[in-house]
Structure 1
Amino acid sequence: MGLYDRYLALRVRTTDAAVPEHVALVITERDLLEQGAYDTLRDFFAWAFEYGATDVTVYVSVLDRAAAPTLARELEDLDAPREVAVRQPDDVERADAPITVGIGLGGRSEFTAAIRDLATAVDDGDLDPDDVDETAIEDRLVFPNDPDLVIKTGAERLSDFMIWQSVYSELYFTDVNWRDFRERDYLRAIREYQDRNRRFGE
């Protein structure tokens, strides 16, 4: 770690502002094809927990859904510092782990599956329509937690990422591509988060 990186780390640790407890990362299938991409992801997990996060979510957008199983195997075999739950298209089992990864599992499909499950419960008489509220929807989402900070590398767009959960998240876009993402880039994201006044839609 260089002098500038140590300075950033000190600022993150000594400021009175809170650090994000749940950090989310949006990358692409193409990002993971770059040499060293999985090593960077492993390091990203380590940085997040080192600087105060308790949960990390990664969304990998894919152009070819057929690539999802291969990516899932690579991610499940990753030497991560915490338990990892990987979900891919058509896998809507709830993901409860310190590190959750969605591969091509878009927010629209996740939300649609939750609504379909609610409709079935109402139709079967297991749920009163008056009991359909935000909590009922959130209980049926694959990724249950709302990120405090969402980091997107390479471009200023989120694709189809966690439409419901990220509505009040702080968004951080960097033009640094994933292959070049370093600890200092992560610390810059945390520092910007600490400098913001979160309003939660108000």
Structure 2
Amino acid sequence: MKKLILSLVLLLGFNSYAQLNFSSYEKATLKLRNGDILIGEARITDDEKVNFRKSKGNKKQKHNYRTLESFRIYGEKDTLRFTYKIIAGKEPRLMRVLREYPGRINLYAIEYFNNTFRPGGTPTNPAVPLGEGVSLSTGVAVNASEYYLNKGNGFEVVKIGNDHPVFGKRRFKNALIEFFEDCPKLIEKVEENEFSRREMEAIVDFYITNCHS
């Protein structure tokens, strides 16, 4: 019974994460679908839209997947890149770009968290230290990530799974084996548990180095 209760708590906690959003404007560059480049400040909203302004005091512009191709947000230590991708024919979702090998393979993530953080800043709840779960180099603390892959230059991506500490391990491994069926070397390492679920970037790099002609 205790194990069942713990599992339910963890599951509810994971499902209640909100996607990464920033509580304040940060320096940003936006690339619009019409080819225009906007330089100024941007903020990601909790409904996966992007508010942009040239500087504080300027009129705000709202963008979503219909007008926005991709954008970069500049933290104190690193740059976060985002784009919209389609999951199995559904409405495009906002994803962080982790790896892009144009024409070959690309890795994206939807990142979730319990407390609100901002690039280069500190958590709103000091009881949750940076470093819990996944920490971006900008100082954004992330509790869990869902990973998505595609090959070539397509707009649609395949969900591989998440790096939740309890749920989805078997499904994650099976998804990797199916997606990388053209790479026996990588499949062997996955089956031998040589890669953890938080090493997706290393997995993609291994594929590019060892398996992609």
TM-score by length of 1: 0.21
Q: Which has the higher strand share?
A: 2
Q: Which has the higher helix share?
A: 1
Higher relative contact order (CA 8 A, sep 6+): 1
